[in-house]
Amino acid sequence: MKYIIVLIVGLLFNISVSNAQLSLNLTGFATEKISKSIKEGDMVQLKSFFRDEYNNDFAFVSYGGGASELIDLKKISKINFKVKNQKEFWQNQALTNGVYKNIISNGIQYKLRKELEDETIEYINYTKANNLIFNDSYLESYLYAIAYRIYPVNIGDGRPGILNVKVLKSEAPNAFIYPNGTMFITTGLLSTLDSEEELIAVMAHEISHFVLDHQVQNINMAIKRAKRAAFWAGVATGVAAVSDAYVASNNRYYDAGAITMNTAVLAFGIASAINKRLGVNYSKNQELLADNCAIELLKYIGIDTTALSSALLKIKKFSILNGNYLAISGKGTHPAIDDRIEFIGNPVKEF
């Protein structure tokens, strides 16, 4: 399948920092009185958000027999939305986690997202040119079937990006997603997990980062951001040091004659650098938010939520066997694996 994502660069909604509007269509019930007109138990339909010229945030809702009203955005928390499909599920997660408040504050930032898309494509081109993508049409079709069981083509909130799955040749069990919706799953992860439920759980976690806009938020929070040309020029000089450190460790990349160790080490250095560049260096809080979002998704589609903790236990075992204690200690960007497992709950069965 083609990896080039078609970005919608035209404004689907009238969004600006000073007067932003974002259209949705979620329906629920008021859990308490919202206004003189909207009482507890009333059915409420969320139509849009917007920020006025005085930087006040509002939601436009309809209720009853078709009447409409503007309410303070904070009062959205008084509505219990009943999602009817995956699209509405992810919109509700984005709403609950403050994504749309950020969007009406900053706009959708098409220019930034287009820049991140270009850099993602550059990394994909690099992996393809160096034979680092594991190509198998059956496996690819299977992964897309799972992906679209979790996430629709898009969730219709104006943000560009279509889910796209690539399998990376790497023995390390890992998965990550870029801000344009391109998800990388390593051969090591596919070899470490033992069930479809665990794979769905891990993919749901990564998709949660994408839906919750963690990458773009991280870039916005950065005080300084290197220019794109300077970044790619610096990667070539920095990879040698990364490669030396990587070879010195006991971690190994997938090597069955298809690629050389040197090429794989180089790919590791590039991936580490671009992950930081594209905002994939998540905070511990963002990791826990993604875990929680994945748990809610598993509940929604009827899968045991401890499939995620089962997957984490197997990743932990791999890390211990290979001496990668940083990955499980909680001293890096991720929370300690044991803390995540405690939050999710120990597996209730063998997956």
> pLDDT tens across 190-207, in order?
999 999 999 999 999 999
Work out the pLDDT band at 230, boundaries 50, 70, 90.
Answer: low
- In sequence order, what are the beta bridge partners of 57? 51
Integer angstrom CA distances of residue 236 from 115, 259, 279, 282 = 20, 20, 20, 24
For residue 143, how far is the Cα from the chain centroid?
Answer: 16
Question: Of 83, 100, 135, which residue sits at a domain end?
Answer: 83
Give dist(CA 298, CA 206) in Å, integer: 13
Q: Which residues contact 267 (CB under 8 A, 6 or more apart)?
A: 126, 127, 130, 132, 168, 170, 253
309 in the same domain as 274: yes
Helix (H, G, I), strand (E, B) or coil at 177: strand
Domain boundary among 65, 83, 101: 83
Do both 29 and 129 map to the same domain?
A: no
* 253 and 210 together in one domain: yes
Asked whether the beta carbons of 186 and 173 are under 8 A apart, the reply is: yes
Residue 270 has pLDDT above 50, yes or no: yes
| 88 lies in some domain | no
Choose one of 83, 98, 130: the last residue of a domain. Answer: 83
CB-count exposure of residue 351 (10 Å: 0-12, 13-18, 19+) = buried
280 neighbors 184 (Cβ within 8 angstroms): no
Residues 138 and 74 in one domain: no
Asked whether residue 8 is assigned to any structural domain, the reply reads no
Domain assignment present for 14: no
Q: Which token pair is 64?
A: 């009853």
Q: How many domains does the chain have?
A: 2
CA–chain centroid gap for 258, Å, is 30
Q: Does residue 6 carry a pLDDT above 50?
A: no
Specify the pTM: 0.81
Q: Which domain holds residue 133?
A: 110-344
Residue 110 to residue 133: CA distance in whole angstroms: 28
Specify whether 281 is located in the same domain as 142. yes
51 and 116 inside one domain: no
Cα angle vertex 275, ends 177, 98, to 5°? 60
* % of the chain at pLDDT higher than 70: 76
Residue scoring higher pLDDT (337 or 143): 143
Does the residue 187 lie in any domain?
yes
Question: Helix or strand or coil: residue 46?
Answer: strand
**206 belongs to a structural domain:** yes
pLDDT the model gives residue 258? 39
Q: How confident is the model at residue 187 (pLDDT cuts 50, 70, 90)?
A: very high
Q: Which residue has the tokens 């850099």?
A: 119
For 13-64, write each residue's pLDDT tens digit.
333 333 456 778 899 999 999 999 999 999 999 998 888 888 889 999 999 8
Mean confidence (pLDDT) of the chain = 82
Q: How far apart are CA 324 and CA 261, in angstroms?
A: 19
> Is the residue at 351 inside a domain?
no
